[in-house]
Amino acid sequence: MKIEILFQDDFLMVINKPSGVVVNRVETEKRETVQDWVEERLGLKDNKGQGLREELTNFVQRTGIVHRLDKETSGCLIIAKTPEAFTELQRQFKARKVKKEYLALVHGFVEPKEGTIRVPIARSHHDRDKFAVTVGGRISETEYKVVKHLIKVNQAQSQKLNQQLITNNQQRFTLLRVFPLTGRTHQIRVHFKYFGHPLVSDEKYGGSLASEDRKWCPRIFLHAAKIEFYHPVKKNKVSVETDLSPDLNEVSKNLKLSTYKA
């Protein structure tokens, strides 16, 4: 498996995780994972902690992978090369010192142009594979900024856009910069579903919209574009970013900037 390394030194690396690749090894995933790739590069092998000092066990079992991205999400992922770097980077995540920025395409025109979604999230009572906004869940917080409003067009429509097209919510989209301040599972996806703007091609949370989306966007439109943290040893601020992935750039060709004012 070929994975682009965006930043690397003796203590850590930041990779550009491809879409379609699972981060952590699971029994249900038969294809190579990021964990397999890292294990081979760093020479680490998970032996369930046998013979290891207690402080090394978590580092080896996680193969230095500090956090995770969903299978279809692409972009910046931090991997520690030493137990000390792993522990310090995890501490920064828990203390909310790590700043993450995503690019997301969602249904509808998002208003206001910037804001914060702050609601409790817990595992869904109806589907244990999903998460939902639930009373008694853990508070989760996501900030966002609108990049641009877009409309989906085909070749015949590209020359002349009409009012019917731009007022059809299924043809209206917003490209967002999204900043999760907490790190709950599926947080961005759950928040924008709750906000009434599910992510494009999100089969888990997008409902019937996702089926139509998949005809022109083959995977969820979510990309971890930037990550910022303090170096675990040198203590300087490290900022790593990556452009929108080629597959999502191709999807963008189906969209045109909207001049419609909601």
Euclidean distance between CA atoms 158 and 67, whole angstroms: 41
pLDDT tens per residue, range 171-208: 899 999 999 999 999 999 999 999 999 999 999 999 99
pLDDT tens per residue, range 235-256: 999 999 999 999 999 999 889 9
Residue pointed to by tokens 């397999």: 36
pLDDT tens per residue, range 106-124: 999 999 999 999 999 999 9
At a CB cut-off of 8 Å and minimum separation 6, what does 135 contact? 120
Give 1-95's CATH code, choosing from 3.30.300.30, 3.40.50.1100, 3.40.50.2000, 3.30.2350.10: 3.30.2350.10
- Choose, from 36, 70, 127, 213, the residue flagged as catalytic: 70
pLDDT tens per residue, range 127-178: 988 999 999 999 999 999 999 999 987 654 444 444 444 455 558 999 999 9
Class of CATH domain 99-262: alpha beta
At a CB cut-off of 8 Å and minimum separation 6, what does 41 contact? none
pLDDT tens per residue, range 41-79: 887 765 554 545 556 788 888 999 999 999 999 999 999
1-95 matches 99-262 in fold:
yes
Q: How confident is residue 29, by pLDDT bands cut at 50, 70 and 90?
A: confident
> What is the per-residue pLDDT for 21?
96
Is the CB of residue 136 less than 8 Å from the CB of residue 197?
Answer: no
Domain boundaries, the chain: 1-95, 99-262
> What is the per-residue pLDDT for 170?
59
Catalytic, 46? Answer: no
Distances (CA, A) of 163 to 53, 118, 174, 261: 66, 34, 18, 11
> What is the per-residue pLDDT for 25?
87
> What is the per-residue pLDDT for 55?
61
Closest by Cα among 50, 202, 178, 216 to 102: 178
> What is the per-residue pLDDT for 258?
79
pLDDT tens per residue, range 72-99: 999 999 999 999 999 999 999 999 999 9
Question: pTM of the full predicted structure?
Answer: 0.90
How far is residue 99 CA from its own chain's centroid?
Answer: 13
CA–CA–CA angle 142, 238, 34 (5° rounding):
75
Q: How many CB atoms lie within 10 A of CB 57?
A: 16
